[in-house]
Each structure stands twice: as structure tokens, then as C-alpha cells.
Amino acid sequence: MTNSEPLFERSWQRAWQGLGVTPPAGLLQAMLTAYAEPQRRYHTQQHLAECLAHFEAVQNRAQHPAEVELALWFHDAVYDIKAKDNELRSAQWAAQALGEAGLAEAICGRVHELVMATRHEVLPKHDDARLLVDIDLAILGADPERFAEYDAQVRAEYAWVPWPIYGIRRKQVLQGFLQRQAIYATPYFHARLEQQARANLHRSIAL
């Protein structure tokens, strides 16, 4: 048993029980298999476990906690390193799975919207989306050792991109976060991670 298995089991059961339905057969294993695909270096079961652990600390702050938790499960469920529609395909998988479980279209739509928020193209408008996005970005405010590991993992996923091009694009992404008035939109994560995240980003850009 891996260290994350109890967390995965607990989270999976809690989320579906919170929605009052039974998940489609085989879906949990399909999710874990997806997060263990060989092309992944950062978007792995490690990242999923970190997100779910953060969620457990803030679940009482969510308006629809079960929906946020399932959106976390699905947010990187599809990860093709060279594709640009991973979030869309992940969101579609989520909506399909929730629909198969018999959930209302409104719930399926909200979870779809939450997964799409992790594209990080616009600042979320709704509280649950803000919370989910902050959880996804919590890695930016990790301790320096874990952040350095994350930086290396992202580079490994993009090993096919020549270094000069990767360096320029990665710098643009990190500077984009620094240029925000606030990296974290929720008071909880802003108070705990904002300062460390900015220090990590400055260090990474300098390197």
C-alpha cells in the first residue's frame, strides 16, 4: 500500500457520499491509472494527493465541497503533454461520469466549470472555483525543497522542448503569476502561501 492510498480511499468515498450517489464501477481505478501514466512527472498521484490533502484542511470553506473534491480528482485526469485541450477533456470526462452516476445536469455543469477553471487563463469568479484554483496552485507556495522538485518535474514533462525555448516560456508563465495583484484569491491560502510563493517564483526566474 502506498502512503497515499488511505487518503485516496477516504477522499473518493467522502466526495461521492456527499453527492448521495455511487460512483461508476471501475472509475476509481481508472483515475489512479491515469495519474500513474508514464509521461507524467508532475501531474501525478503525488500532485493529486497534495491537492486532496489541502482540500481536507479547507473543505468546510467550500459551498459545494463534494463538487470541489471531485473536480480535484478530475482536473488532471487527462494529461497529454503535447495537447492543449487537457482540461476540456478532463472536464468532459467528469461531466460524463457524474451523469452516469445519475446526478443532475446542474451538478455536472458546475463540476465541468470547476475543472475548466484550472486552465488558469482568467481569475475565477465563484468562491468554489477560487478555492479549487488556490489548491491547484498551492505547489507554488511549497517549501523551497518541494518547489525545486516541482520545477524539475515540470521540466521533465517538457523534456521534448529545447531548453532555450522552454526557459523563455517557463519564465513567462512564472512572471504571469508574479504580476498578479495576488497569486491566491482566498484569504486562507493568501495568508499561508503568498509570501513563500513569490519568493519561490523569484528564485526560479533568477535561475
- Which domains are delineated in the chain? 1-136 (1.10.3210), 143-207 (no CATH)
Length of the chain: 207
Q: Rg of the chain over CA atoms, in angstroms?
A: 17
- The H-assigned helical ranges of the chain are 5-19, 27-35, 45-58, 65-74, 86-100, 105-117, 127-136, 144-157, 163-178, 187-206
Query: CA angle, 17 as apex, 14 and 23 as ends, to 5°?
Result: 100
| 38 Cα distance to chain centroid | 18
Cβ 185 vs Cβ 120: under 8 Å = no
| 3-class secondary structure, 59 | helix
Q: What is the pLDDT along the chain (207 residues), one digit of tens a residue?
A: 358 999 999 999 999 999 999 999 999 999 999 999 999 999 999 999 999 999 999 999 999 999 999 999 999 999 999 999 999 999 999 999 999 999 999 999 999 999 999 998 888 989 999 999 999 999 999 999 999 999 999 999 999 999 999 999 999 999 999 999 999 999 999 999 999 999 999 999 998
